[in-house]
Amino acid sequence: MESFFLNRYPKAILHIDGDSFFASCEIAQRPNLKGLPVVTGRERGIASSMSYEAKALGVTRGMSVYEIKKICPNVVILPSDYETYSLYSKRMYEIVRRYTPEVEEYSIDECFADITGTRRIHHASYQKIAEKIKNELQNELGITFSVGLSATKVLAKIGSKWQKPDGLVFIPLKDAPAFLRKTNVGKIWGIGPQTSALLNKKKIYTAYDLATAKEEYIKTFLSKPFTEIWRELRGEAVYSVKAGEKNIYKSISKTRTFTPESNDRKRVFAELSKNIENACIKARRHHLSSDRVFLFLKSNAFKYCALEIKLSIPTNTPSGIVVEADKVFNKIFNENTKYRATGVVLSNLRESKIHQASLFGESVQRENDTKIYEVVDKISAKYGKHSLFLGSSYEAMVAPSHRGRRGEGAKRKDIIFKGETKRKRVNFPYLGEVV
Amino acid sequence: MIEKYKEKISSFYKRKKRMPSYREMGTLLGFSSTNAVYKLVNKLQSEHFLKKDTSGKLIPMNIFGEIKVLGLVEAGFPSSAEEELADTMSLDEYLIENKEATFLLKVKGDSMIDAGIRDGDMVLAERGKEPKDRQIVIAEVDGQWTMKFFRKYNGKIFLEAANKKFKDIYPKEELNIAAVVRAVIRKY
């Protein structure tokens, strides 16, 4: 592995990861929750994020509220407030962009940044830049982040995981072997349980074992993506940081869980219809259209029933999709089964407007829909999302997605300031009341 | 084929009000190598569709076809109204210095009434700032947010209300100042 010693940072890649992101956003608004076990996800009945205090008590992601209460009765369980988390997320990207335009919005609580070649403009070493970014994020957002700096994305990700929470870990290539020796292959970004089990069978246990294996050897049993990970571990930047706001989607999906579970066709279809409308809103925002629509239902036994619809012309308006979905809905819906979630995936996305005329006059219909939805979007921009919706979505639009205590929504959803409405609020995170 | 590329680039420009970077152009047009993008850019430059500035960034030339170019030339002579407006700012810019660090709070009670801050007012406060004497701050007291004047007097730090009915607050331990108040908004 002598290549490790050539240059400390041939490229300088940061991975920045919000610690217990959702729970931290909640605690940042409510100082009285500091130091307590806090869990979010009450509305779904399972933990979506938990504070380190809750983790210490054994709470894990996906654990049910019932189980959580059994192992720690004093836990604070809050409904998720995705609007607030998204606002924090956007701010995280913006703060990192002060240092480099090359920021990849990897997920709601993580991003990659390429800071190669920025030392001179910031008058600072890569380590110092990483530290400054971390401090700005923490001071301005009031939550902690773990940051890893190295020469590749895979190595930077090992760095950010190294000492969570509140970590700042540098892995210059000369130190990489020491880190890799202490990293199990299963902990490497992109290596799942299946591959990790296979690697173990081949006597490859640590990231170091993998990085030092001969290329010809690993190629005999691993596919191309894994040889890329192998190169990244050896310090060669294969994956570039994909800058820009995340708007190049391969697919758009919308899923929603509702309670109580239901076997009422109208209610379940309305949920699906609402998801279709939401997915189309997102597609229109990004000027994308789809001609492959994938629909699914999830039963209370967590079984999925799914099917795919092919459309003759790519679209991003819901009316046509809902009509098609209605025709085939009975193939996946069974009255004797209770359902807890529905979902839709728009795939095969392409830029809108470049489509061919269909032979069957559908094109005219689609164009009319496009015009209608231009107006719908304008109305939504003025009066809020879902000011106008399809009749088929009615049941889902009027019913809260969750009844009972689980139905209590996030605090910010209530009208707080004069001039705000149920549908539209000022786009700044809310810290609560001040006396 | 080149017409199709032009169409995509101009629709990107219309949408984003800027030209794509080389990398974005690669994704936009489905090129896997930047080299291919360079070649195309050179071709488009020779056709006066776009041009490279001194730092290599792209600027649009004829991207909306021949007629629209006149519009671009016209933009060189802004009307006097446009010119005057160049020195104005939006209410957002006026109220907010550091957007990423600014948060909303809602006033409860009348402890700051003599500073003109009423129950129900919207407060814009900025995190991560070192407070100065007599600035209004958001502090954490007994697990709750409180808004008071920050006072530093003879080396002693305390919080002072803008209402005679409230006593000064002397912190027992470390005082956590979360944010400095930048603006108070009241909508009628």
Chain B residue numbers with beta carbons less than 8 Å from the beta carbon of A91 are 99-100
In the beta sheet, which residues pair with residue A310? A292
Radius of gyration of chain B (CA): 27
More confident residue, A406 or A422: A422
Catalytic residue numbers of A?
Answer: 110
Chain B residue numbers with beta carbons less than 8 Å from the beta carbon of A430 are 103-106
Smallest CA–CA separation between A428 and chain B, in Å?
6
Determine the pLDDT at residue A408.
60
Q: Is position B148 annotated as part of the catalytic site? A: yes
Predicted confidence (pLDDT) per residue in B34-63, tens digit? 778 888 888 888 888 888 887 778 888 776
Cβ–Cβ < 8 Å for A25, A143: yes
Partner residue opposite B127 with nearest CB, options A94, A140, A426: A140
| Mean pLDDT score of chain A | 89
Catalytic residue among B6, B14, B148, B172: B148
Chain A residue numbers with beta carbons less than 8 Å from the beta carbon of B111 are 435
Please judge whether B108 and A435 are an interchain contact, meaning their C-beta atoms are less than 8 angstroms apart: yes
Does residue B138 belong to the interface with chain A, where contact is any CB pair within 8 Å? Answer: yes
Smallest CA–CA separation between B158 and chain A, in Å?
16
Is the per-residue pLDDT at B171 higher than 80?
yes
Is the per-residue pLDDT at A205 higher than 50?
yes
pLDDT-derived band at A157, boundaries 50, 70, 90:
very high
Listed ranges A237-241, A358-362, A366-370; the one with the highest mean pLDDT: A237-241
pLDDT-derived band at A383, boundaries 50, 70, 90:
confident
Please judge whether B187 and A139 are an interchain contact, meaning their C-beta atoms are less than 8 angstroms apart: no
Closest CA to A314 of A269, A285, A284, A272: A284
Cβ–Cβ < 8 Å for A46, A64: yes
Does residue B111 belong to the interface with chain A, where contact is any CB pair within 8 Å? Answer: yes
Please judge whether B127 and A139 are an interchain contact, meaning their C-beta atoms are less than 8 angstroms apart: yes
Q: Where are the domains of chain B?
A: 2-85, 95-185
How many other C-beta atoms lie within 10 A of the C-beta of residue A387? 14
Determine the pLDDT at residue B6.
84
Does residue A139 belong to the interface with chain B, where contact is any CB pair within 8 Å? Answer: yes
Alpha helices (H) in A313-361, listed in sequence order: 318-332
CATH of domain B95-185: 2.10.109.10
Smallest CA–CA separation between A434 and chain B, in Å?
5
pTM of the full predicted structure?
A: 0.72
The residue of chain A nearest to residue B106, with distances taken between CA atoms, is A433
Is the per-residue pLDDT at A2 higher than 70?
no
**Lowest mean pLDDT: which of A406-415, B17-26, B75-84, B172-181?**
B75-84
Cβ–Cβ < 8 Å for A51, A75: no
pLDDT-derived band at B67, boundaries 50, 70, 90:
very low
- CB contacts < 8 Å between A and B, how many? 94
Q: Rounded distance, CA A48 to CA A64, Å? A: 10
Q: Rounded distance, CA A17 to CA A137, Å? A: 11
**Lowest mean pLDDT: which of A12-16, A360-364, A394-398?**
A360-364
The architecture in CATH of the region B2-85 reads: Orthogonal Bundle (1.10)
Predicted confidence (pLDDT) per residue in A234-244, tens digit? 999 999 998 87
Is the per-residue pLDDT at A116 higher than 70?
yes
Does residue B34 belong to the interface with chain A, where contact is any CB pair within 8 Å? Answer: no
Cβ–Cβ < 8 Å for A153, A164: no
The two structure tokens encoding residue A250: 């391969």
Partner residue opposite B144 with nearest CB, options A240, A428, A435: A435
Is the per-residue pLDDT at A246 higher than 70?
no
The residue of chain B nearest to residue A241, with distances taken between CA atoms, is B23
| 3-class DSSP assignment, residue A122 | helix
Please judge whether A431 and B145 are an interchain contact, meaning their C-beta atoms are less than 8 angstroms apart: yes
pLDDT-derived band at B79, boundaries 50, 70, 90:
low
Smallest CA–CA separation between A134 and chain B, in Å?
12
Catalytic residue among B4, B16, B111, B132: B111
Could you tell me the domains of chain A? 252-398 (3.30.1490.100)
Predicted confidence (pLDDT) per residue in A290-346, tens digit? 988 999 898 888 788 888 888 888 889 999 899 999 999 998 999 999 999 999 999
In the beta sheet, which residues pair with residue A434? B107
Determine the pLDDT at residue B26.
84
- Average pLDDT, stretch B65-79? 46
Determine the pLDDT at residue B68.
35
Is the per-residue pLDDT at A405 higher than 90?
no
